[in-house]
Structure 1
Amino acid sequence: MNYKVFLSLGSNIEDREKYLLDAIDNISAVSGVSLEKISNIYETEPVGYTEQGRFLNMAAQISTSLEAEELLDKLLEIEKLLKRERIIHWGPRTIDIDILTYGDLRIDTPKLKVPHPRMFERAFVLIPLMDICEKERLYGININDALDKCGDKDGVRLYKKMTVCDLPGGC
């Protein structure tokens, strides 16, 4: 069975755009994963730990035959490949890849929670997601309504328009 999965990606160290695009390239190379759509790239203020540089954020839609925790393991491998270090909670990072949704499944294990616990509270997640999600509601929540409640909307600015066709080898 194939699942439609939405991912959120972020980077705020060194060549942020390159880390995002390298992550997308590595995700699309995973066996059992097909890259369907990518959002525009947005520059955003840091949330949580604010003593760090601005982030570039984007979202991606994939289709996968992998089970959720198997996909998570592959994404963690990609983060490690791209030199992600977990030193400060919500701190600076070369790349962060989060599973936002996994089909319509709800998952609550020690390793993975889907939908992502804070996705409906963060404009830097919702704005890129709205670029590629044709649904108005996810998990019974209206995306626009959730975005209206986000206090960080003003800190999200378009950085670069993107589609899959803009990727090397795209379209």
Structure 2
Amino acid sequence: MNQAYLSLGTNIEPREAYLTEALELLEAMGRVTIVQRSSIYETAPVGYLEQADFLNMVIEVDTPLSSMSLLEYCQSVEQQLGRKRGIRFGPRTIDLDILTFNQENSNVERLIIPHPRMRERAFVLIPLQEIAPQLILPIWEKSIAEMVLDLPETDIKDVRKWTQKGSVEE
């Protein structure tokens, strides 16, 4: 069995429903078992700023799939939920990214593990820290908790725990 951490993000309504449907679809075929899930966080957009805020979360999964098969499976879930790939970093019904896969370091055309920009993204590291603070990524020789400490305060302030429909926890 392989262990992976996946990030989920959405900023097209109904955001919460897209997260819920993605989680259900990931487990529906028996190819992925969700072991842990973070809280949901509401976050400001990064890159392309002319769009709505995102709901983000991270899950730990067990899977018999290879990393490439998991990527293809995640992309099929995105397609089932109407993901359109138009504007880079633009609005989306759902975005599923493989953050880590076992302790692998991989750099192939379609998949880089660990995710190359995760260490710069508060919207990934803060939820990941919630479920795996001591996870150490060999490529960077730092734990997730240490990486969160390296984030600029301006990035951290834009990640707010989302407690229920329409509200955030400061």
TM-score, length basis structure 2: 0.90
Following superposition, the deviation at residue 32 of structure 1 comes to 2.8
1:36-47 correspondence to structure 2 within 5 Å: 36-47=35-46
AA of the residue aligned to 2:159? V
Q: For 2:100, what is the secondary structure of its paired residue?
A: strand
Q: Deviations over 1:68-91 (max 9, x none)?
A: 101110100000000000100000
Question: What secondary structure, in the 3-state scheme, does the structure 1 residue paired with 2:157 have?
Answer: helix
Partner AA of 2:162 in structure 1: Y
How far did 1:44 drift?
0.2
SS at structure 2 position matched to 1:83 = coil
Aligned partner of residue 87 in structure 1, secondary structure: coil
Equivalent position of 1:155 in the other structure: 158
Aligned ranges 1:99-114 → 2 under 5 Å = 99-114=98-113
Tell me, in whole angstroms, the C-alpha distance in 2 between the residues paired with 1:37 and 1:145.
Answer: 21
Runs of 4+ in 1 over 4 A off after TM superposition: none
CA contact (8 A) 1:30 1:74 kept: no
- Within 5 Å, which residues of 2 pair with 1:53-72? 53-72=52-71
Q: How does 1:158-169 map to 2 (within 5 A)?
A: 158-160=161-163
CA distance in 1, matches of 2:135, 2:82: 35
Letter in 1 for 2:14: D
Q: For 1:134 and 1:29, how far apart are their aligned partners in 2? A: 28
Alignment-derived partner of residue 167 in structure 2 = none
Once the two structures are TM-superposed, the CA of residue 138 in structure 1 deviates from its matched residue by: 2.4
% same residue: 43
Question: TM-score, normalised to structure 1's length?
Answer: 0.89
Aligned to 2:24: 25
Match of residue 9 from structure 1: 8
| Alpha-carbon distance in 2 for matches of 1:36, 1:64 | 10
Q: CA deviation at 1:134?
A: 5.1
Residue of structure 2 in register with 1:80 after alignment? 79
**CA distance in 2: counterparts of 1:145 and 1:51, whole angstroms:** 31
Which runs of 5 or more structure 1 residues have no equivalent in the other structure? 162-171
Residues 4, 63 of structure 1: 8 Å contact kept: yes
- Paired position in structure 2 for 1:138: 137
Q: Quote the offset at 1:35 in angstroms.
A: 1.1
